[in-house]
Amino acid sequence: MAALKTVVLKLGGELVHSPELDLLADDLRSLAGGSNRVALVHGGGPQASALQKTLGLETKMIAGRRFTDAATLDVMKYVVGGQLNFDLCARLLSHGVRAVGLHGASGHVIHATKRPPKVMQGAGPDPVDLGLVGDVRSFNLSLLEDLFRLGYVPVLACLGCDEKGQALNINGDTVASQLAGALRADALVLVTSTPGVLRDVKDPSSRIPRICRPEFDRLCADGTISGGMIPKLQESFDVLSHGAKSVVIVGKLAAGELTRAVLEPGSAGTVLVP
C-alpha cells in the first residue's frame, strides 16, 4: 500500500463554475477517499473584479499595484468568501467529496497580519501601502488536522483575518504555497492551462514529467524554458525550500489525471522536486 499523502491543491476562481470541475471532483473523491489528506485553496480575482465593476467601484492603483480599500475587501468577502466558496463546496459535495468550506476567520484558519508599507521594486523610493492586504502569520493547523482525521476536505477561501478581527486580502497562490509548507505537504498541486511543463509549448505530447532544480537551471540556460514560465517555476521551486516536498503542475484535467499526478509522480503533469 502506498504511504498516505498530504496534498494542497490551488484552484483559480475561474475553475469553480467550469465543466472541468466535475472531472476534478471525481478525482478528488478517489484521492481523499483513500485517507490521503487533501486541502483546497481558491481565489476568485476575476469574479471579484467583475462584481466590483457592476457595483461601479473604482480600482485604485498605487505604484502599479492594486490597492485594497474597505469596499474592495467587502467584494472579496462577497465573492471569494461567499459565492465561490459555497459553489465550489456544493459541487464537490454533489460528487461525494466531503468538502468543508472555510474562510480565514473560520477558527482563524488563516491568521494574517496587515502588510506594512514596503519599498517596492519599480515603485520609487517611498514605501508603498497596499491597504488591507495581509501576509500569512500562521494557519490553524490543529483544526485542519482534525478535519483531515475526520475524513473531510477543507476548502479555504483566501481571506485572512488578523488578531483584532480585521479581514485582509491575500493572494491565493501565496496561501496555497505557505499552507503546503506548513503542512509539510507531499505535493502542492497547481492547475494550469497546459498539461504540465512542455519542451515545445505547441506540442502537448512534449511534456517534461519531472524537473529537479539543477535540471531547471539547464532548461532555462538552453532556452527550453523561457519567458513568463521562468519566474513561475522559480516561484514553485522556492516553495520547495519552505517545507513542501514537491510541486505538481497539471493541466486541464482529464479523468484520473490529478490522482495519477499525485500518487504516481511523473505519470501526468510535471513534478518539481528539489
- Residues making contact with its own copies (CB under 8 A): 51, 54-55, 74, 77-83, 85-87, 89-94, 98-108, 143, 146, 150, 152, 159, 161, 163-167
The smaller minimum CB distance to its own copies, of residues 1 and 70, is found at 70
DSSP state of 133: B
540556460: which residue's cell? 221
Cβ of residue 68: shortest distance to its own copies, in angstroms?
A: 15
C-alpha distance from residue 34 to each of 3, 6, 24, 37 (Å)? 10, 11, 16, 9
Instruction: Please list the residues that pair with 127 across neighbouring strands.
Output: 119
Q: Strand 37-42 to strand 153-157: parallel, antiparallel, or no bridges (unpaired)?
A: parallel
Cβ of residue 148: shortest distance to its own copies, in angstroms?
A: 12
The smaller minimum CB distance to its own copies, of residues 146 and 238, is found at 146
Cβ of residue 209: shortest distance to its own copies, in angstroms?
A: 34
Determine phi and psi for 270, rounding to 5 degrees.
-130, 130
The smaller minimum CB distance to its own copies, of residues 112 and 268, is found at 112
Cβ of residue 106: shortest distance to its own copies, in angstroms?
A: 4
The smaller minimum CB distance to its own copies, of residues 9 and 79, is found at 79
Task: Indicate the SS3 state at residue 128.
Answer: strand
Q: Strand 65-66 to strand 61-62: parallel, antiparallel, or no bridges (unpaired)?
A: antiparallel
